[in-house]
Structure 1
Amino acid sequence: MSLHARNLALLERHAIPYRQVEHEAVLDYPTAHAVRERFGLHGVESKSLFLRLKGGRHAMLVTLENARADWAQLKALLGARPSIASDAELVELTGCVPQCACPFGHVEEIALIVDQALFDHDYLIYSPGPPTFTLEVATADLRRLIDALPNPVHAYRTAW
């Protein structure tokens, strides 16, 4: 099952309403903003960083566009100093396209680090895999999705 199909199945399995739009490939924030305007999407853009840890472990940091990673906080949460994984690792281990990492639907060994700042907004906008699709999900419903995932989940707060 593709990452896109897994994301839609997760949302449907947990009765989480979503809006999906199809558009040109979004691989940068200016294009994402243009798509948001054209389709009237609400909420904030997600930013997902695929991280590599010692011992072959990986994690996906899910935060907001323009947020800077707090590497000390990430190290404390994960028990090891993370670094950004290579594009090859991202593609091989998640099926994501570089510059378009999807936050959800990954194998359970990939830890999820969720920026609690996401919940300061009404909606989250993210790619479900292919850069030609965007999902809009209410953050109130997103909590149910995250709680249902098999991945280890860590709460994180961006230091602005």
Structure 2
Amino acid sequence: MSLYDRNLALLNDLAIPYREVHHEAVLDYATAHVIRQRFGLRGVESKSLFLRLKGGRYAMLATLEAARVDWACLKSLLGARPSIASDTELVALTGCVPRCACPLGHGAAIDLVFDDAILEHDYLIYSPGPPERTLEVATSDIARLLPTLRNRVLHFHSG
């Protein structure tokens, strides 16, 4: 099952409504802004970073587009020093396209580090895998989805 299919299954299994739009590839925030405007997408754009942890583990960080990464906080939360994984690792272990990491739908061995500041907004906008697709999901539904994931979910709050 593809990353895209896993994302839709996560939403559909919990009867979570979502809006999906198809467009040109989004590989930077400038293009994401154009897409948001063109389709009238509401909410906040996600920023996802695939992290390699000392000791061979991996984690996906899901935060806000404009958030700065607090590496010391991440190290404390994860119990190991994180660094950004290579594009090769991203593709091989998640199925994501470089510069278009998806926060959800990954194997159980990949921890999800979730920024609860996302939940202060009404909607989350993210790519479910293919950079030509965007999902808009109510953050109240994202909050309902997180405890059902097979991944270990670690929470923090940016800002």
Counterparts of 2:9 and 2:60, CA distance in 1: 20
Is residue 38 of structure 2 the alignment partner of residue 44 of structure 1?
Answer: no
Contact persistence 2:55–2:80 (CA under 8 A):
no
Q: Number of aligned residue pairs: give it.
A: 159
- How much identity, in percent, do the aligned residues show? 70
Shift of 1:72: 0.7
Spell out, residue by residue over 1:85-113, the C-alpha distance to the aligned partner (whole angstroms, 9 max, x if none).
Answer: 00000000000000000000000000000
Partner of 1:69: 69
Partner of 1:93: 93
Shift of 1:66: 1.6
TM-score (norm: length of structure 1): 0.98
Specify every segment of 5 or more residues in structure 1 that has no aligned partner in the other structure, as ranges.
Answer: none
Specify every segment of 5 or more residues in structure 2 that has no aligned partner in the other structure, as ranges.
Answer: none
Counterparts of 1:154 and 1:5, CA distance in 2: 24
Partner of 2:108: 108
Partner of 1:125: 125
Amino acid of the structure 2 residue aligned with 1:115 = D
Shift of 1:145: 1.1
Counterparts of 1:5 and 1:150, CA distance in 2: 16
Counterparts of 1:55 and 1:119, CA distance in 2: 31
SS of 1:108 mapped into structure 2 = coil
Counterparts of 2:155 and 2:55, CA distance in 1: 22
Is residue 44 of structure 2 the alignment partner of residue 56 of structure 1?
Answer: no
SS of 1:56 mapped into structure 2 = coil
SS of 1:76 mapped into structure 2 = helix
TM-score (norm: length of structure 2): 0.99
Runs of 4+ in 1 over 2 A off after TM superposition: none
Shift of 1:158: 1.2
Counterparts of 2:13 and 2:129, CA distance in 1: 18
> RMSD of the alignment, in Å?
0.6
Spell out, residue by residue over 1:53-112, the C-alpha distance to the aligned partner (whole angstroms, 9 max, x if none).
Answer: 012100000000021111111001110110000000000000000000000000000000
Counterparts of 2:144 and 2:35, CA distance in 1: 27
Partner of 1:33: 33
Counterparts of 1:145 and 1:134, CA distance in 2: 18
Counterparts of 1:145 and 1:79, CA distance in 2: 25
